[in-house]
A = this chain, B = another copy of it.
Amino acid sequence: MVGAGLSGCLMAVLLARRGCRVRVFERRSDPRSRAADHGRSINLGLSRRGMTALRAAGLLDEVLAHAAPMRGRVVHLPDGGLGFQPYGTSDDQILRSVLRNDLNTVLLDAAEAMPGVRFEFDAKLTAMDKSKATVECLFQTAGGVRRVLSETVIGSDGAFSTVRAQMHRGEPADYHQEFLPWGYKELSIEAGPPDERRTDPEALHVWPADGGLIVAHPNADRSLTGTIFLPLAGPDSFETLRTTEAVSSLLADRFPDLHRLVPDVVEQFLSQPVGHLVTVRTAPWHHDDRVVLLGDACHAVYPFYGQGMNSAFEDCVTLDGCLDRNPDDWAAAFAEYQAIRKPNTDVLADLSAENFIELRDRLASPLFLARKNADLALNRILGNRWVPLYTMISHTTTPYADALRRSRRQNTTLAWLAGAAATGTAAAGAVLLRNLARRVKGK
């Protein structure tokens, strides 16, 4: 296995449980022996899919011990006002915020404790030959080049996967990489007083703005870790915002409460590197029974639906299920895994791009908030017969593509209902509501 990040570690645990010998090579050093990377997104939102996968591996309780609950979104409006949107209608519809480093440590420790699993850090894959009977990998290490032979190579080495590039070399492989014209920087937001809703430690915080966006996750110590998104180039962009005055005035204009919450925000802004955001789609995800990809290596998505890690964990469990069904034919298992997952992660890529627009532009719109509330109200009335898209993505394990199809049906119905309500025909509305309940139930 190449890549000891989140999905690599989880997959190592699942493979070790079926008796495989697993060696995991990682180009970085051991995260347990160094300070957390700066400039990487260090705070992640665990939703139902991720929690389900961790539970399947017996690791959920340990992870949750490090996590902070998020019960909804606090929206810091451009006019200085504050809004709140609950994530769901019941207590189990909450997300959990966890530090990437804490999560990686739990997973590394768990994998390392399994018999047959061995990690090697500071080992960078430089070449892979998939044509031989056993796959040959060359790793650059402090001690020189190491040659490693294995029956199967699993690429969990991220959006710019070397395993993927080496696997696709000389093949007619589809590959799509698209960068958002916006980048990001990280901001640390200190814990506020206990009754300060603007730093509520049990919520995700969003600052929608015209030409800007901040999203912040809470930490277990009540501080928040924020990410500011701005255009990479053009007016008011990371390229042009280079002086204290320019940054200070832009932040005050777009995010009125930020200066008060983060007194050193301008210094942080000017000292942080700019990160880029990429969507990757590709095919195939595997080569025979010899190479297979996981997570970002086969489907990197923008972070705006908070599903990157969750979908990578779902990959691991799906692949594990495919191995269950095809114990003696890993090529068939890998093909089944791709057939199950790719249509769903393709939909996730679209939803993640759309949610950027939603967070940035629509979250500040009263009409949009009313629509969201109507959605949740219908969910309360109709229960499982009416589930908002966000709820299906974040609080269920309904495959992404199925969730999107169902949401489209529901939206059509919501438009009818709104029409009935607008024309004042309450009776007609009631009939529609009854029909709808039947329709949604039946499908």
Contacts and interface: CB of A to CB of B under 8 A. Distances in A.
Interface of A: 172-179, 183, 232, 276, 278
A384 to B, nearest CB: 39
A284 to B, nearest CB: 11
A172 to B, nearest CB: 4
Contact of A176 (B172, B173, B178): B178
A276 B175 contact: no
Interface majority SS (helix, strand, loop, mixed), chain A: strand
A178 B176 CA distance: 8
A171 B172 CA distance: 24
> Sorted from nearest, which 10 A-B pairs have the closest CB atoms?
A172-B179, A176-B176, A172-B276, A174-B178, A175-B177, A174-B179, A174-B177, A173-B179, A172-B232, A175-B175
Q: How many copies does the complex hold?
A: 2
A178 B281 CA distance: 11
A419 to B, nearest CB: 29
A332 to B, nearest CB: 15
A183 B171 CA distance: 12
Contacts of A178: 174, 176
A191 to B, nearest CB: 34
A177 B176 CA distance: 6
Contacts of A183: 172
A278 B171 CA distance: 11
A174 B173 CA distance: 17
A173 B183 CA distance: 13
Contacts of A179: 172-174
Contacts of A173: 177, 179
A170 to B, nearest CB: 10
A299 B177 CA distance: 15
A283 to B, nearest CB: 9
Nearest to A177: B175
A414 B85 CA distance: 51
Contacts of A176: 175-178
Nearest to A176: B176
A177 B171 CA distance: 12
Contacts of A278: 172
A172 B176 CA distance: 13
Nearest to A178: B174
A183 B174 CA distance: 14
16 contacts: A172-B179, A172-B183, A172-B232, A172-B276, A172-B278, A173-B177, A173-B179, A174-B177, A174-B178, A174-B179, A175-B175, A175-B176, A175-B177, A176-B176, A176-B177, A176-B178
A179 B283 CA distance: 10
Given A172-B278, A175-B176, 12 more contacts: A172-B179, A172-B183, A172-B232, A172-B276, A173-B177, A173-B179, A174-B178, A174-B179, A175-B175, A175-B177, A176-B177, A176-B178
